[in-house]
Structure 1
Amino acid sequence: MNDRTDAHDAVRAAVEAYVAAVRAADPEAVRAAFRPDARMWGYLGEELVSAPIEAFCEVVAADSGADRWARGYTYTIRSVEVNGPVAVAVLDESGYQGHDFTNHFSLVREDGEWRIATKTFVRHDAP
C-alpha cells in the first residue's frame, strides 16, 4: 500500500470507531474518537446546536436504550478525502436514536493518530 491509501484507510477507521462508540452507547469510546477540544454544530429541526463534544458524550451516556434502537441503525461512509495531515469524511446514519443524520467530520492527524476535530450534522427527518 502507499501512504495515501494508508491515510485514507486510517481516516475511515477513525470514523468506524465513532460508529462503534455511538452504537455501543459508550461515552468513553466517543471521547476517544474526538480531540478533547472538539466541537459540534448542526441542526435538530430548526434548532441550531453548537457545543463542545462533551455535550454529545453526555447524550450518548444518557442513551440507556441503545439496544432498542441500535438494531435498526445503519450507516454509510459516503466519502473520505485526505490532504496530508487533515481530512474530511461524510457519514450518513439511518435509525440513530430513531432519526436519520448526515455528519460532516473534519479530522486531524496528530502523533500518527487520526481524531475527529469537528462534527457538523443535520437531522433529515426532523418535524
Structure 2
Amino acid sequence: MSEQQPVAHDGVRSAVEAYVSAVSAADPAAVRAAFRPDAHMWGYLGAEFVSAPIEAFCEVVAADTDTARWVPSYRYTIRSVEVSGDVAVAVLDEFGYQGHDFTNHFSLVRADGTWRIAGKTFFRHDGA
C-alpha cells in the first residue's frame, strides 16, 4: 500500500462522516455538499424500488422536522472503504435513521482534491 492510500482512506471516511453529520442534523444543504451535484441514488424502501437524483433525498432530509424522535438512538458504522486512485467505494450501516436500519453503498470520486459521493445504493433492512 502506498503512503497515499491511508490519506485517501481518511478522505473517503471524512466524506462519509460529512454525510452522517448532515442527515443527523436534517441539513439538506450539508447533504448537497456531501454529494456531487449530478449524484443519483437507487435502492429499496421495503418492496418499493427507488431511483432518483440526490435532490430527492435532500427533500426527504428537509422534510424531517422530528429529528428528536430518532437522532438520540441513531448509530452508524463505516463497514468498509476501498480506494483505487481517485475513485472509492464505502459501505455505511445505519441503525435507527428516521427509525429504520439501512445499508448504504457509496461510490465516491475525488475531484480537485475533494472526495464527494457520486452515487448512493441503499437497502432498508426492516422492510417496513
Give the aligned partner of residue 90 of structure 1: 91
Give the aligned partner of residue 125 of structure 1: 126
Q: In 1, Cα distance between the equivalents of 2:100 and 2:43?
A: 14
Give the total of aligned pairs. Answer: 127
Query: RMSD of the TM alignment (CA)?
Result: 1.0
Matches for 1:1-127 after TM superposition, within 5 Å: 2-127=3-128
Structure 2 length normalisation: TM-score? Answer: 0.97
Q: Deviations over 1:86-127 (max 9, x none)?
A: 000000000000000000000000000000000000000013
Give how far 1:2 is off: 2.1
Q: Which stretches in structure 2 are left out of the alignment for 5+ residues?
A: none
Q: In 2, Cα distance between the equivalents of 1:25 and 1:35?
A: 18
Q: In 2, Cα distance between the equivalents of 1:66 and 1:84?
A: 37
Identity of aligned residues (%): 76
Structure 1 length normalisation: TM-score? Answer: 0.98
Q: Which stretches in structure 1 are left out of the alignment for 5+ residues?
A: none
Moved over 3 A (4+): none
